[in-house]
Structure 1
Amino acid sequence: MGSATRATPALHDMEAAELSAAYRQGVLSPVEVTRAVLDRIGHWEPQLLATYLLRPEVALAQARASEERWRRGQPLGPLDGITVTIKENIASAGDPVPLGTAATTLVPAAADAPPAARLREAGCVMVAKTTMPDYGMLSSGLSSFHPLTRNPWDTNRGPGGSSAGAAAACAGGYGPLHVGTDIGGSLRLPAGWCGVFSLKPSFGRIPIDPPTLGRVAGPITRTVSDAALMMQALSRPDARDTMCLPPADIDWASVASVQPEFLKGLRIGLLMDAGCGLPVETSVHEAVEAAAALLERAGAIVEPMAPFMTQGMLDGMDHSWRMRSHLDMAGLPAERRARVLPYIRQWADSVAGMSGAALYQAQQQFFATRVATLRACAVYDYVISPVAPMPAFDAELPSPTDDPLHPLEHIGFTVPFNMSEQPAASVPCGFTPQGLPVGLQIAGPRFDDLGVLKLARAFELIRQPMRAWPQP
């Protein structure tokens, strides 16, 4: 993307594969790269506020250990010495997990959660955790615990969420690799709004602890190839995830060699109406239509697709999540409950009088969404759509509507693929006239994570040149 416009990218802008090759050749050291990433963070962080537990000396100690492994010719793998940030709700041993809210009692985590464990085993240098909103239930960088996180492309705008800090850090050049989580769009929405790539993998592909219906962890990177490189480590099994997929021999490395010819003959559904929520804004509509035209010119067969979601499906899932959060907060002491972001409290408490029958009907919408999504996608190889109906919105707002009774009107394109367990990616496809990134969502059949990555990589090769990365 933007780094490609420079003959020699700055160390903090280099791709993971480039860094790994340079370590192998001995022309770069994990220590000098980590120092460059920390310097970049130092310049951007006063404006972006994307990190939690930024500890330079801890990162440099990990980098020195990696440097010694490379010197001995005994790296732990291709990710050894590559810097990574991890969303703060993914536990890392010895660190508290605030879940984005001031209501949490800060207790050091006993062990690494699976994604953190896999990256530590791979030798990654963990430079920081990244911010998220209260309980991960907002698509914004607004939190009662963390400072307000902002978008590097326009610091008056938010990065999206709930993987807010991860996407802002990626766009800001805080190194090549970042990990977030997603239960309704929390990887793809911030990636789309920050102009970076993300894969929400098939449910169970990346083990996570604790596992929850629809919840996944996934990579946020500047390039598709870097995400595929991360998948080699992140998709390794972990017995703590009782819903993880069986181990599979997936050739993640093959993504890097994909050519535009991959697109020829693919039947792709183009979904421009989610069937629920907010309408797609003109600038987003134009960027996605232009992306579809590029795919057609490259040999894909792109067909308009009828909406399959309904407002009732979206509202039902919303009300189920409200009840879960309402019950979680009801168990808190009054003084801690008062620390939760008021918007989240109002959202959750709106279902206090909900009947059992109404809750049952609301919960059934998860399954109804799953069935409708899989049925609609079955006739296509892949489905493309906007990631969100609008570009990045005001940083101070908790949601595009700023209405706790209509808070999820922007997730109509993303949430169905959480419920259907299908892999879905966000890849940058253009900019609005105001210079804000637009994300193209690419969804594939269940378990075809590799195909989604290959289609995203092929699109990366044929799209218009992207703009230079924003600077502090």
Structure 2
Amino acid sequence: MSTQSPSHRTHGSPEDLADSTGAELLDAYARKAVSPVDVTRAVIARIEAYEPQLQALYAFDPDAALRDARASEQRWMSGQARALDGIPATIKENIATKGVPVPLGTAARPLVPAAEDAPAAARLREDGVVILAKTTMPDYGMLSSGLSSFHPLARNPWDLAKNPGGSSAGAGAAAAAGYGPFHIGTDIGGSIRLPASWCGVFGLKPSFGRIPIDPTYYGRVAGPMTRTVRDAALMMTSLTRPDVRDPMSLPYQDLPWLDLGIDLKGLRIGVMMEAGIGLTLDPEVRAAVERAAKAFAAAGASVEEMPPFITREMLDGLDDFWRQRAWTDIAPLSDEDRGKILPYILQWAEGGRDLTGAAVYSGMNQMMVMRHAAVAATHRFDFVISPVAPCVAYPAELASPIHNPEEPFEHIGYTVAFNMSDQPAASVNTGFTTAGLPIGLQIIGRRFDDVGVLRLSQAWEEMCPDRRPWPKV
């Protein structure tokens, strides 16, 4: 992943404008060196060139985007520009936007237009962001894959034979492909960090409640997916504003999102190299994380190995609870509608049909056990680093790295606990395999230290020795 500034491309061809960062665009707009209309046209051209291969988008609306870009242009010309005016963006399909149906990735849901913008979409629109499209996801968001019964199969821009990850599948692919600087995903077990890792982009799973969402659920968050840490920080200035529709959101804090400097000397960094359960760690992933740990130590941080804490009982309990939750949604459907669901998801959810109340309660309790274990294991460190996933991107047609609904979560051992513990965690690119596939480094902070996670991510983005041009599709 290239982390060099693309500012030298800002005034190039319309194609090059699609690769500008949000921060660069705000500067160029303020100087009247480029127009939001030109940038939006460039991103539309990029989408039209790449999308037949990537299939990352849903409800792509170039006419509406150009209309909003013209309005943004007028605000810049009249001195009335908003905070993020004219920056192109996509929004994950399960985050409602007014007038667009929310199929949740499955052909089993009726296509009813959303009555209003969900909080994240509303905040960006209020700040002048140009929304180009929604991004695809798998059925009910329950896969780390771009496989869906409703959307076409999404693919990874680095290798079209590979999966972008999920469930924020289209968002990861769109960010890597240059479909604008800003993208929003959601994450309940790794659904921002996994596609960010496998697509070589930056993804932040914020502290639970930091970004208001609707509907809310245990561990579920929305967060930015971008090519640079600074663009994610820019998005956080908008996304974190309060919304009464989220009764589980944190009290609003005006945090210094754009103050990304950090002194690495003396920081206590834990290294969780093993997840404790699941797939064996790929040697190339291990080597990439080890290089990062050595680099932080060389920069003055105190780096110490942290043992794994996730157990089989924890992961299987969470699996039971999520299966039963999914079956509760699927059971009332007609046989016809149930038959439209991705077979992998249907088989997995049916595993919750005959669970007893005691088993479901025990599963939910294991989510709390996981929460306590995560905080207990990490509290003595300022930050913890780890792999994001034990493997790199896998074949596009598979629902998971194992592709077995009886072993659905063997790849989320590094990520899921930090949803349960409310801790902020990010994926930042840390290099590539010999085959050219991206590898993500997970950076985990203490509860509510979202700014700290962004700062350490920015430091690594600047330190990372393996930087590559963005993929051309």
Select 1:40's aligned residue among 46, 63, 80.
Answer: 46
Deviations 1:44-98 (A, max 9, x none): 1010000001111010000000000000010111x10000000000000111000
Instruction: Show the counterpart of 1:4.
Output: 4
Q: Please state if 1:111 is matched with 2:109.
A: no
Instruction: Show the counterpart of 2:13.
Output: none
1:429-468 matched pairs, under 5 angstroms: 429-468=430-469
Instruction: Show the counterpart of 1:26.
Output: 32
Q: 1:12 to 1:82 in 2, by over 3 A?
A: same
Counterpart CA distance in 1 for 2:469 and 2:27 is 24
How many residue pairs get aligned? The number is: 467
1:73-92 matched pairs, under 5 angstroms: 73-77=79-83, 79-92=84-97
Select 1:212's aligned residue among 210, 217, 237.
Answer: 217
SS across alignment from 1:326:
helix
Counterpart CA distance in 2 for 1:319 and 1:436 is 33
1:100-139 matched pairs, under 5 angstroms: 100-139=105-144
Counterpart CA distance in 2 for 1:53 and 1:358 is 40
Counterpart CA distance in 1 for 2:142 and 2:244 is 27
Confirm or deny: 8 A CA contact 1:3 1:469 kept in the other structure. no
Q: Please state if 1:51 is matched with 2:57.
A: yes
Q: Match for 1:195: what amino acid?
A: G
Counterpart CA distance in 2 for 1:100 and 1:49 is 13
Deviations 1:302-344 (A, max 9, x none): 1001111101101110111000111110011111111000000
Q: Which stretch shows the higher mean deviation, 296-305 or 134-143? A: 296-305
* Deviation, structure 1 residue 2: 2.7
Confirm or deny: 8 A CA contact 1:5 1:468 kept in the other structure. no
Q: Please state if 1:309 is matched with 2:314.
A: no
Deviations 1:132-171 (A, max 9, x none): 0000000000000000000000000000000000000000
Instruction: Show the counterpart of 1:187.
Output: 192
* Deviation, structure 1 residue 3: 6.8
1:220-235 matched pairs, under 5 angstroms: 220-235=225-240
Q: Match for 1:352: what amino acid?
A: R
Confirm or deny: 8 A CA contact 2:428 2:440 kept in the other structure. yes
**Where in structure 1 do 4 or more consecutive aligned residues deviate above 4 Å?**
none
- The CA RMSD over aligned residues, in Å, is 1.0
1:26-425 matched pairs, under 5 angstroms: 26-77=32-83, 79-255=84-260, 258=261, 262-425=263-426
Counterpart CA distance in 2 for 1:129 and 1:249 is 28
Confirm or deny: 8 A CA contact 2:164 2:173 kept in the other structure. yes
SS across alignment from 1:253:
coil
Confirm or deny: 8 A CA contact 1:228 1:252 kept in the other structure. yes
SS across alignment from 2:258:
helix
Q: Match for 1:2: what amino acid?
A: S
SS across alignment from 1:13:
coil
Q: Match for 1:403: what amino acid?
A: N
Q: TM-score, normalised by structure 1?
A: 0.98
Q: Which stretch shows the higher mean deviation, 358-367 or 101-110? A: 358-367
Counterpart CA distance in 2 for 1:456 and 1:294 is 13
Deviations 1:201-232 (A, max 9, x none): 00000000011000000000000000000000
Counterpart CA distance in 1 for 2:146 and 2:255 is 34
* Deviation, structure 1 residue 351: 2.4
SS across alignment from 1:413:
coil
Counterpart CA distance in 1 for 2:64 and 2:292 is 42
Q: Match for 2:78: what amino acid?
A: R
* Deviation, structure 1 residue 197: 0.1
Q: Match for 1:359: what amino acid?
A: V
Deviations 1:380-410 (A, max 9, x none): 0000000000000000000001100001100
Q: TM-score, normalised by structure 2?
A: 0.98
Confirm or deny: 8 A CA contact 1:326 1:348 kept in the other structure. yes
Q: Match for 1:205: what amino acid?
A: R
